[in-house]
Amino acid sequence: MVLFYSLSIFLEGREALHQALYRKWRPQSFSDVCGQDHITAILRYEVENHKTSHAYLFTGSRGTGKTTCAKILAKAVNCESPDRGNPCGKCAACLSADLGSCIDIVEMDAASNNGVDDIRQIRDEVEYLPAELKFKVYIIDEVHMLSASAFNALLKTLEEPPPHVMFILATTELQKIPATILSRCQRFDFRRIAGDVIAARLEHIAEAEGITLDHEAAFMLAHLAQGGMRDAISLLELCSGENKPVTAEVVEEIAGTGGRDVTIKLLNAVCDKDYDTIFAEIGKMFMSSRDLAVFWQDLIAFYRDMLVVKTTKGAKDYLDLSEKQLGELMEIAGRFAVETLIYHTKLLDEALISMRMSGSSKRLTAEMTLVRMCDERFSASNEALASRLTLLEDKLKSGAFRVSAPAAVSAPPQVVMEPEEEAPAAPIEKEAPKNPDAPVKKEYRQLPYWPDFVQKCCERDQMLGSLLRGSSKGFTVNTDEFLHIRTSNKMALTIITNMFSTMLEVLNTFEDGRLDSSMVKLEYAPEKKEDKFKALDDIARNAEE
């Protein structure tokens, strides 16, 4: 009697404890799982037709339903009266699985039980028949955390387990799973859940829980969750903690983001070159103790969305946005050219790296980057130049300004040629002697035997011949008696210098042995490259002025 009384007090205490929303609303059947129809349909078919595998591997990002589907599958294979592949939820097997009191369904966290001894214990236990259910199910979460020896210990059991045993492995890092494990499992890849699916689920939960949730806020929560249903439900519970309506402003405040309105305001300021607004908004964000790096990531994501709008026809298919948010996005994206968006995205990426490297100067980095984004002339990069040229082309097409026509050049005065009287033949004079002191013009002549010389060098040494053929030339100058070999590659010059004796020996086969080491000069002359972008920059600068 005393024991029963104590147990009743314990159960009453348990009922009084708060249960997290994501646990309360965890799906109890395959039909309740959102966004993974390609997986749940197969699992239901296998359960209904008794074609289940002995080992499964569920992989995907966090919060997509891997562990949930593993628990549902464990219930379904042991359910006494399954309904088209779904567990009934009413039989003794389902109820004990829901309470977590069933000893035949074992959940193991490989992050904390990753040793070979933990796997050996499983290997010893699988030989025994289930105590209560039809199947003994082992759910190993974060299986990629197992050690190499633990994986090896699991191999044989996983390949040929007893008929009453099922393994369900779950992981977020598939690349860490050995190929020998992958080949022994039936693999299912869980996708990130679409934003509209998450938003609809959140609205359903909010209605059932008596939470006032705005449509815009639901999409914002879905966006912040990045495809994870569990994260979205946890954020909803966090935002509804004050028992107030969950609006977009509340989500921005709780999540610590800068806010969509602030992002649009800053982008309009960049277009209008409104430096006062830029410094004011960044200052407010800095003083509110919000992490500028988090806002910067949201800003980069916003630029990605604008690029999608500018470059695709069905932008709505690639964006998790409401109709209102999509309209705002299209309006602000219309103020930017694609080249400008690419240039700005590069600046934002560089700034984000700088913020992570030096956390103390986040405000300065943010302000200077936005100022550079206001005017491409502040940057000398090729992307900035391309953006400036595109802007000029758009202005020319729209007629914002016209290039003035060149001034008319006056025609030269017409000259009338009168016939000249035939002059008497002049006496032939002897050519004046050349001035011996006048400087002689240098004449460079390529060695006529250069191709044959290179070929012979290749026969003697393949590397020497390749360097001479690729970046070197041999010639003579009429002003001296030396033989010149010029190269445009510093490394080639070093190697040729080290192999000079071999090269000189081959040269003398063409020069009848008249050359010595003092008569051959090695020279380095780098090739001059024309700076095409400088010319384009001059053109753009002149047009802008």
pLDDT one-digit tens code per residue, 413-445: 333 333 444 444 444 444 445 555 555 555 667
Give the three-state DSSP class for 44.
helix
Check whether 496 has a pLDDT greater than 90. Answer: no
**pLDDT value of residue 438:** 52
Give the three-state DSSP class for 509.
helix
Number of H helices, E strands in the chain: 24, 9
**pLDDT value of residue 428:** 44
pLDDT tens-digit profile of 385-419?
565 566 666 666 666 555 544 444 444 433 333 34
Which segment of 192-196, 316-320, 333-337, 340-344 scores lowest on mean pLDDT? 316-320
pLDDT, average across residues 475-491: 69
pLDDT, average across residues 483-493: 76
Check whether 4 has a pLDDT greater than 70. Answer: no
Residue position matching structure tokens 């693999």: 187
Please state which CATH class domain 444-524 belongs to. alpha beta
**pLDDT value of residue 429:** 46
Measured CA to CA, the distance from residue 455 to residue 259 in angstroms comes to: 69
Hey, what CATH topology would domain 14-189 get?
Rossmann fold (3.40.50)
Measured CA to CA, the distance from residue 43 to residue 39 in angstroms comes to: 6
**pLDDT value of residue 135:** 92
**pLDDT value of residue 412:** 42
> Which of residues 384 and 126 earns the better pLDDT score?
126
Q: Mean pLDDT of all residues in the chain?
A: 80
Our measurement of the distance from residue 308's CA atom to the centroid of its chain's CA atoms, rounded to an integer in Å, reads 15
Q: What is the DSSP letter of 376?
A: G
Which H or E run contains 121? helix 116-125
**pLDDT value of residue 459:** 83
**pLDDT value of residue 421:** 45
**What confidence tier does 197 reach under pLDDT thresholds 50, 70, 90?**
very high
**What confidence tier does 518 reach under pLDDT thresholds 50, 70, 90?**
confident
What pTM does this model have? 0.62
pLDDT, average across residues 464-480: 67
Pick from 113-117, 508-512, 537-541 the range whose average pLDDT is largest: 113-117
**pLDDT value of residue 344:** 92
103: left (phi over 0), alpha (psi -120 to 50) or beta: alpha
- Which of 439, 441, 495 lies closest to 470 in space, CA to CA? 495
| Domain(s) of CATH 3.30.300.180: residues in the chain | 444-524
| Domain(s) of CATH 3.40.50.300: residues in the chain | 14-189
Measured CA to CA, the distance from residue 315 to residue 311 in angstroms comes to: 8
**pLDDT value of residue 26:** 92
**pLDDT value of residue 385:** 58
**pLDDT value of residue 3:** 37
**pLDDT value of residue 270:** 92
**pLDDT value of residue 1:** 37
Give, in order, the Cα–Cα distances in Å from 496 to each of 108, 398, 487, 489. 66, 59, 10, 10
**What confidence tier does 220 reach under pLDDT thresholds 50, 70, 90?**
confident
Q: What is the DSSP letter of 52?
A: -
Measured CA to CA, the distance from residue 148 to residue 142 in angstroms comes to: 14
Q: What percent of the chain has pLDDT over 90?
A: 31
Within 312-381, where are the H helices? 323-333, 338-357, 362-374
Strand-pairing partners, residue 169, are 57, 140
Pick from 5-19, 263-277, 365-379 the range whose average pLDDT is largest: 263-277
pLDDT, average across residues 323-346: 89
Task: Kindly report each contact of residues 39-44 with a partner whose C-beta sits within 8 Å and lies 24 or more positions away, as own/partner.
Answer: 39/69, 39/188, 39/190, 40/69, 42/188, 43/69, 43/72, 43/73, 43/76, 43/85, 43/188, 44/76, 44/84, 44/85, 44/86
pLDDT, average across residues 172-192: 93
> Is the sign of the CA dihedral 70, 75, 78, 82 positive or negative?
negative
pLDDT, average across residues 324-337: 89
Whether residue 329 contacts residue 309, with contact meaning beta carbons closer than 8 Å, is answered with yes
pLDDT, average across residues 273-286: 90
Task: Kindly report each contact of residues 174-177 with a partner whose C-beta sits within 8 Å and lies 24 or more positions away, as own/partner.
Answer: 174/59, 174/144, 176/144, 177/57, 177/59, 177/143, 177/144
